[in-house]
Amino acid sequence: MGSRSSHAAVIPDADSIRRETGFSQASLLRLHHRFRALDRNKKGYLSRMDLQQIGALAVNPLGDRIIESFFPDGSQQVDFPGFVRVLAHFRPVEDEDTETQDPKKPEPLNSRRNKLHYAFQLYDLDRDGKISRHEMLQVLRLMVGVQVTEEQLENIADRTVQEADEDGDGAVSFVEFTKSLEKMDVEQKMSIRILK
Amino acid sequence: MRGRRCGSLKRRTRLPGVLCIFLSLEVLPKSSFYTHTNKTSSVPETSAVHSAEVSAGLGALLLELPRDCLGTGTAVALGPPLRTSPEWVRRVMEGAELAGKILSTWLTLVLGFILLPSVFGVSLGISEIYMKILVKTLEWATIRIEKGTPKESILKNSASVGIIQRDESPMEKGLSGLRGRDFELSDVFYFSKKGLEAIVEDEVTQRFSSEELVSWNLLTRTNVNFQYISLRLTMVWVLGVIVRYCVLLPLRVTLAFIGISLLVIGTTLVGQLPDSSLKNWLSELVHLTCCRICVRSLSGTIHYHNKQYRPQKGGICVANHTSPIDVLILTTDGCYAMVGQVHGGLMGIIQRAMVKACPHVWFERSEMKDRHLVTKRLKEHIADKKKLPILIFPEGTCINNTSVMMFKKGSFEIGGTIHPVAIKYNPQFGDAFWNSSKYNMVSYLLRMMTSWAIVCDVWYMPPMTREEGEDAVQFANRVKSAIAIQGGLTELPWDGGLKRAKVKDTLKEEQQKNYSKMIVGNGSVS
């Protein structure tokens, strides 16, 4: 927390960010405040180190994957628009989003499809659009640590890929991923409500 | 000319003491230049009267006596004027003479009203009067601000309320399954949601920056989103700045300087004596006096509660840590043996001097790493029942006084009786938290000395010992809870060292273990 709270004028491109992410003005201010609190050295952007210092994130088994999701395309810094863009995936789906389905506008970031795409990315380590068996194994290893043997883990990975894979290429594509989760209440499970 | 001055003298006595100082400081250079260009014979008299006015102003601030009786007395006692040297030399000499007189009167007042009472541990009630004026002013300012700001922006300032709606259900429920269920692709939702919740808001990061105030206390540094309200408020703020920087800061710096020098000199002198009860009594006196002077140099108002539980000899005193000033606050009410690393520079000089008078435990940097050596030395210290209680801060780092973080188990393995102490600062008058990544020691001390005051409560608590079947970690947590409840602070399981280092992997392993149990069950895999 700095000695001055965020004013709307301080956030650069506030309007375009609001349109892109759908966050309200108040939520955006809170997130900007948070961004600056995490940016300990006042660099204006966040690095991986800044996110790793959050205790509750560092003990999360998927902490590293979540941090990676903030740095697409191999960049080393994330600025405020990038920060908010990732968080926008977890914005709860409200009625006004489903009403204004303007076909010309791009899909809102918190749509079901985009939420699923975020989850897909957590598995897809090399970002090739497919979750291979090897990638599944690695992510599973992150989640269980040293508690499970290699053999058990391989069994789990094989089963999961086989269940989801439809075209038999030994990997799970995004379409297959979406299909296997079609009954899941994604909107509710992947939403964080920011209190005003 | 003289008549005009006398008349203005009378007018000034009706104003509050603070404005007297300000005005007399402002008026002094103007009048002396004015008199220099006119009659040279009246120069020494005017300078004498003016220095008398200054000292009278100081006296009025501190004592609130009528100024006239002080003013006329000192005018008589001064020497013959200089007539023979050239004009500019005379001015310089007179300036120096004047400065000397001001300094001497200043020091006399300081000695009389602050230092001597510190030796005997009495208070003249000056700080109480100051605090009353301060509280009234801040209340008035709060009312003005609340009238001025619209209703919505007041709600924004409650930083302690969580900003996201949390679902605190355990991992099993969050993964929507019974125990022994298999891995699903959707499991990743739970972890990613928890992870992003942590990114948006976590308990720890906010503890390492200063507490946000609900209403402004007229210090620039706490001005979080308080806009211009009215001219009167701004005037009061300007007056506050002048009072703090021009009146209080020099006074406090003088006191701090005197306090530290007295400590070093006093303890070195006492250290020359052979070991005896006289030496102990003298070293206690020196320590207490210097600590009281240093506390007054910060305008500290401390309330001690439950003095019957004050730590006894042969015990270990344990307290929550907010700033280096914690040490001063505790040692003002009793003598402790301190534990810490040997520093260089000024701190090193102070440490070396203090250890001559009474046995503190200072470690070299290399020794600190050897935990057994540290434990051994501390055990030896408390085994000797004649030695003073040890003072330890088990958090290991400064926290911002809204919560208590993990107590390191090292201090609780030594054995002996633990005397917990809770320290809570009142942030309205000055923020005592030392953000060591943001400010170094000198700028921190300057900030302390330009705050209004340091107000805190100290609660002594009944002694605790380790129970049967309790290991050091559980004991540490028990003491931590007791301190948190007493001080009204929240309790966190996190390590204060998180602000510098990454979290330990053992905590992550726990989560991984929980998850593995769920998907693998008791060795049964699909």
Distance from CA of B402 to the nearest CA of A (A): 15
**Does residue A144 sit in the same domain as residue A191?**
yes
Q: What is the mean pLDDT of residues B341-348?
A: 75
Domain boundary among A29, A56, A88: A88
pLDDT at A107 over 70: yes
**pLDDT value for B420:** 92
B183 to chain A: nearest residue by CA? A156
Residue from B151, B154, B188, B212 whose CB has the most chain A CBs within 10 Å, to mutate: B188
In a domain? residue A38: yes
CATH of the domain at A24: 1.10.238.10
Residues of B whose CB is below 8 A from A94: none
Distance from CA of B10 to the nearest CA of A (A): 44
pLDDT at B8 over 50: no
Q: Which helix (H) or strand (E) holds B95?
A: helix B87-110
Which residues 75-94 on chain A approach chain B with CB closer than 8 angstroms?
86-87, 90
In a domain? residue A191: yes
Give the distance between the most distant pair of CA atoms in chain A: 58
**Does residue A51 sit in the same domain as residue A126?**
no
Facing B526 at nearest CB: one of A159, A177, A186: A159
User: Between chains, do B156 and A5 touch, taking CB under 8 Å as contact?
Assistant: yes
Residue from A36, A115, A123, A144 whose CB has the most chain B CBs within 10 Å, to mutate: A144
Q: Rounded CA gap, B503 and B508, in Å?
A: 9
In a domain? residue A146: yes
User: Between chains, do A59 and B164 touch, taking CB under 8 Å as contact?
Assistant: no
Facing B198 at nearest CB: one of A60, A90, A146: A60
Residues of A whose CB is below 8 A from B515: 61, 143-144
**pLDDT value for B421:** 93
- How many CA atoms within 13 Å lie on the side-chain side of B478? 14
b/e map A111-139, b = 16+ CB within 10 Å = bbebbbbbbbbbbbbeeeebbbbebbbeb
Output B380 or B347, whichever has higher pLDDT: B380
Residue from B155, B156, B164, B185 whose CB has the most chain A CBs within 10 Å, to mutate: B185
Q: Rounded CA gap, B392 and B376, in Å?
A: 15
The C-alpha angle B103, B134, B107, rounded to 5 degrees, equals 10
User: Between chains, do A61 and B511 touch, taking CB under 8 Å as contact?
Assistant: yes
**Does residue A188 sit in the same domain as residue A114?**
yes
3-state DSSP helix/strand/coil % of chain A, to nearest 5: 55, 5, 40
**ipTM of the complex as predicted:** 0.86
Three-class secondary structure of residue A75 per DSSP: coil
**How many CB atoms are closer than 10 A to CB B332?**
23
Which of the residue ranges A49-63, A127-141, B44-58, B370-384 would you say has the lowest mean pLDDT? Answer: B44-58
**Does residue A114 sit in the same domain as residue A75?**
no
Q: What DSSP character marks residue B4?
A: H
pLDDT, tens digit, 9 for 90 and up, residues B155-197: 444 444 566 666 666 666 666 544 456 777 778 888 888 888 8
**Does residue A67 sit in the same domain as residue A120?**
no
Facing B164 at nearest CB: one of A4, A53, A193: A193
In a domain? residue A101: no
pLDDT at B385 over 70: yes
pLDDT at B78 over 70: no
pLDDT at B245 over 80: yes
**Does residue A79 sit in the same domain as residue A156?**
no
Residues of B whose CB is below 8 A from A53: 205, 498-499, 502
In a domain? residue A1: no
Angle subtended by helix axes B277-297 and B345-357, to nearest 10: 150
A161 touches chain B (CB under 8 A): no
pLDDT, tens digit, 9 for 90 and up, residues B80-98: 444 556 888 888 888 888 8
The total domain count for chain A is 2
**Does residue A18 sit in the same domain as residue A51?**
yes
Phi, psi (degrees; rounded to nearest 5) at A132: -80, 170
A119 touches chain B (CB under 8 A): yes
User: Between chains, do B200 and A146 touch, taking CB under 8 Å as contact?
Assistant: no
Facing B200 at nearest CB: one of A152, A184, A192: A192
pLDDT, tens digit, 9 for 90 and up, residues B271-295: 888 888 888 888 888 888 888 888 8
Distance from CA of A103 to the nearest CA of B (A): 28
Residues of A whose CB is below 8 A from B502: 52-53, 58
Distance from CA of A129 to the nearest CA of B (A): 16
**Does residue A152 sit in the same domain as residue A119?**
yes
pLDDT, tens digit, 9 for 90 and up, residues B412-437: 888 788 999 999 998 888 788 887 77
User: Between chains, do A155 and B525 touch, taking CB under 8 Å as contact?
Assistant: yes
In a domain? residue A171: yes
pLDDT, tens digit, 9 for 90 and up, residues B111-154: 777 777 766 766 667 777 888 888 888 888 777 777 766 654 44
In a domain? residue A93: no
**Does residue A118 sit in the same domain as residue A70?**
no
**Does residue A78 sit in the same domain as residue A145?**
no
pLDDT, tens digit, 9 for 90 and up, residues B296-308: 888 888 889 888 8
- Report the candidate in A151, A137, B98 with the shortest Cα–Cα distance to residue B106: B98
**pLDDT value for B233:** 77
**pLDDT value for B427:** 83
User: Between chains, do B193 and A192 touch, taking CB under 8 Å as contact?
Assistant: yes
User: Between chains, do B202 and A54 touch, taking CB under 8 Å as contact?
Assistant: yes
Distance from CA of B423 to the nearest CA of A (A): 24
**pLDDT value for B55:** 40
In a domain? residue A132: yes
**Does residue A118 sit in the same domain as residue A84?**
no
**Does residue A66 sit in the same domain as residue A128?**
no
Domain span holding position A127: 110-195
